[in-house]
C-alpha cells in the first residue's frame, strides 16, 4: 500500500522504515529540512539498534522517500499516518500544536479518499478533533463534498526505545480504533504481514489503551521501587522479591527492576498526561499521583543516601557511568543519569562522565565544568566514587581488578543494581545498590 508518514522521530521513522521493510511504498515527511536531508542521504539521525541497516535496505529497494513537501506526495497516499510529537506542557497536558497544524495542512491539500491514522500519543478524544480540523480545512479549500470520504483511525504505538524496530515488526498486539469499519479494515490491511492479535475498538478506547499501558508499566516500576525501599530497611533483597513474585503468571517478571526509577520521553509525559486527562474529566486518579511522586522521590533518595554515606562530594572526583535514560539508546530525555549528574555538580563534585551513546546529547545539557571521558575506565581513573546510572552491558565487562587499582576509593553507588550480582565486595569494593538489604537505617 502507499503510505505517507508525517513525522520522522524515533516513532515515525521506525514505523515508516518498518512498513517499507514489509513491502509497502512509504514517503516520510517532516518540516525539519536538515533531518530530511540527512535521511535522504541514508543517515538515521539518532541511535536505534537495527534501524540504520533497515533504512539502507529499503532505500536500496526504492521503497522509501523523504521530503519536506507534503503537497507533492499527498495525492498518492492511501493512508496518511501522523507521528508528530505531542510533548508535555508545563501543566503536564499534551501540547497538540504540531498535531493540529499537520491536520490543517492535510485538510488544505486533500483531494481524494484517504484514511488518516494517528500514531502520536494523544489525550482521549483528540482523534475526533483531528478529523474535525481536517474536514474544516477541506471545507475552506472548497472541497466540502469530499469530507465524508475522509476517515480517521487511532493506531497507538508500543515501541520501546532501544528495541523499537524489533517491537514494530513483532508487536504484542495491534490496537486499531475507528468509528468506520472500512477505515479500520484499511489500516488492518496495512498490517497484514503482522501476526499479532488485533484489538479492534473505538477511537476513545484506543487512545486510552496507550495511556493505560504506559501508566501500568510505570506503576509496576514505582511499586518495585517502594518494595526496594522497604527491603533496604528490613534486610530483604528486592531482586529476590521481584523474582519470587514474577514467577506468578498474573504478575510476570518484566518491569520489576528496582533502581533510580523511570525516565525517557514517554513514561513521565504519559503518566502526567493521564493524570491531567483524568482531572479534566472530573476524576481524581489517586494511584497515578502516587506513581509520579514515588518516581521523583526515588532519585532524591538515591542522591541523599549517597551524600550521607560520602559526607558530601565537594572537591571530590566523582565518575558517572551512564547518562542515557536507559541502555541501548542515546536519548537523555528525563534521564535519571542526567538529573543525578547535575545534582552532583551542584554539590561541588569534580564530575567526569561517560556513556557509550549519549555523550553528544549530554554535552548539550551538562555544563562545561564536566569532564567527558572517552571510555568507562578513563572516567573511573582517579575517582573517589563511581556512580552507575544506566544499565549498559559494557559496564559489566570492564576488568574490575584494574578498576579497583585505578580508583582512589573503590566505592560504587549503583542506581540500577546493574553490577549487583558480580559480588564486587569480594574484590575489595564498597558497593551500594538499591533495595539490596544493606541499607544503614542511620
Ligand atoms: C516505554 C514503553 O515501554 C513503550 O511501550 C512505549 O511505547 C514508550 O514508553 P521506553 O520509554 O522507550 O518505552 O523505555 P522502557 O524500556 O519502557 O523504560 C522506561 C523507563 O523505565 C527507563 O528509564 C527504564 O530505565 C525504566 N525501567 C524499566 C525501570 O526502572 N525498571 C524496569 O524494570 C524497567
CATH topology for 202-442 is Rossmann fold (3.40.50)
Ligand 1 pocket check: which of 214, 258, 266, 328 to mutate, most ligand atoms within 8 Å of Cβ? 266
- What is the domain partition of the chain in residue ranges? 2-201, 202-442
pTM for the structure as a whole = 0.95
Helix 10-21 to helix 51-60 angle (10° resolution) is 50
Over residues 223-242, mean pLDDT: 97
| 266 has catalytic annotation | yes
pLDDT of 440 higher than 50: no
pLDDT at 441 > cutoff 70: no
Cα–Cα distance for residue pair 75/26, rounded to 1 Å? 13
Q: Of ligand 1's atoms, which has the minimum distance to the CA of residue 270?
A: 9
d(CA 247, CA 259): 20
The torsion of the CA quartet 344, 346, 351, 353, rounded to 10 degrees, works out to 70
Domain 2-201 has CATH 3.40.50.720: yes
Ligand 1 pocket check: which of 47, 122, 158, 217 to mutate, most ligand atoms within 8 Å of Cβ?
217
In this structure, what are the phi and psi dihedrals at residue 46, rounded to the nearest 5 degrees?
Answer: -150, 170
Atom of ligand 1 nearest to the CA of 121: 7
Query: Average pLDDT of 6-32?
Result: 97
Q: Examine the pLDDT at 272 and tell me if it is beyond 50.
A: yes
- Provide the pLDDT confidence category of residue 438 given band limits of 50, 70 and 90: low
- Cα-to-centroid distance, 159 and ligand 1 (Å): 10
List 131, 137, 209, 266, catalytic entry: 266
> Do 2-201 and 202-442 have matching folds?
yes
* Contact status, residue 268 vs residue 294, Cβ threshold 8 Å: no
Please work out, in degrees rounded to the nearest 5, the angle formed at the alpha carbon of residue 5 by the alpha carbons of 72 and 78. Answer: 70
Average pLDDT value over all residues in the chain: 96
Q: Please tell me the residue having the least CA distance from ligand 1 atom 26.
A: 262
Q: How confident is the model at residue 18 (pLDDT cuts 50, 70, 90)?
A: very high
Cα(347) to centroid of ligand 1, in Å?
29
Amino acid at each position: 500500500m502507499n503510505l505517507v508518514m508525517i513525522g520522522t522521530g524515533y516513532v515515525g521513522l521506525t514505523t515508516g522504515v518498518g512498513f517499507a521493510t514489509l513491502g509497502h511504498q512509504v514517503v516520510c515527511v517532516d518540516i525539519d529540512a536538515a533531518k530530511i536531508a540527512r535521511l535522504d542521504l541514508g543517515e538515521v539521525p539518532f541511535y536505534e539498534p537495527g534501524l540504520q541497516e533497515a533504512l539502507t535496505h529499503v532505500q536500496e529497494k526504492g521503497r522509501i522517500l523523504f521530503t519536506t513537501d507534503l503537497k507533492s506526495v499527498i495525492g498518492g497516499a492511501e493512508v496518511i499516518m501522523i507521528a508528530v510529537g505531542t510533548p508535555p506542557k508545563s501543566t503536564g497536558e499534551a501540547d497538540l500544536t504540531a498535531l493540529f497544524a499537520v491536520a490543517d495542512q492535510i485538510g488544505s491539500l486533500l483531494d481524494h479518499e484517504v484514511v488518516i491514522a494517528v500514531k502520536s500519543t494523544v489525550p482521549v478524544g483528540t482523534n475526533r478533533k483531528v478529523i474535525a480540523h481536517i474536514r474544516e480545512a477541506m471545507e475552506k479549500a472548497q472541497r466540502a463534498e469530499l469530507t465524508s470520504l475522509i476517515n480517521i483511525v487511532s493506531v497507538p504505538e508500543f515501541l520501546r526505545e532501544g528495541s523499537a524496530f524489533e517491537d514494530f515488526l513483532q508487536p504484542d498486539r495491534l490496537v486499531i480504533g475507528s468509528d468506520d469499519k472500512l477505515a479500520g479494515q484499511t489500516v488492518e490491511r496495512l498490517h497484514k504481514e503482522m501476526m499479532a492479535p488485533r484489538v479492534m475498538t473505538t477511537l476513545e478506547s484506543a487512545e486510552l489503551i496507550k495511556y493505560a499501558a504506559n501508566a501500568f508499566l510505570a506503576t509496576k516500576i514505582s511499586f518495585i521501587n517502594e518494595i526496594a525501599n522497604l527491603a533496604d530497611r528490613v534486610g530483604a533483597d528486592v531482586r529476590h522479591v521481584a523474582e519470587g513474585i514474577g514467577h506468578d503468571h498474573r504478575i510476570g517478571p518484566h518491569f520489576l527492576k528496582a533502581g533510580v526509577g523511570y525516565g525517557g520521553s514517554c513514561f513521565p509525559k504519559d503518566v502526567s498526561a493521564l493524570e491531567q486527562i483524568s482531572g479534566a474529566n472530573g476524576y481524581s486518579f489517586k494511584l497515578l499521583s502516587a506513581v509520579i511522586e514515588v518516581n521523583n522521590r526515588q532519585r532524591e533518595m538515591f542522591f541523599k543516601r549517597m551524600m550521607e554515606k560520602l559526607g558530601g562530594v565537594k572537591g571530590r572526583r566523582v565518575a558517572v557511568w551512564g547518562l542515557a535514560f536507559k541502555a541501548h539508546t542515546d536519548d537523555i530525555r528525563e534521564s535519571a543519569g542526567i538529573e543525578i549528574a547535575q545534582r552532583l555538580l551542584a554539590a561541588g563534585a569534580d564530575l567526569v562522565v561517560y556513556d557509550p551513546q549519549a555523550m553528544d546529547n549530554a554535552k548539550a545539557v551538562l555544563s562545561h565544568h564536566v569532564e567527558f571521558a572517552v571510555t568507562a575506565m578513563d572516567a573511573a581513573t582517579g575517582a573517589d566514587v563511581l556512580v552507575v546510572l544506566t544499565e549498559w552491558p559494557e559496564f559489566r565487562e570492564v576488568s574490575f581488578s584494574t578498576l579497583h587499582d585505578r580508583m582512589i576509593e573503590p566505592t560504587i553507588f549503583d542506581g540500577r543494581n546493574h553490577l549487583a550480582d558480580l559480588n564486587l565486595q569480594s574484590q575489595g569494593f564498597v558497593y551500594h545498590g538499591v533495595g539490596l538489604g544493606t541499607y544503614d537505617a542511620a
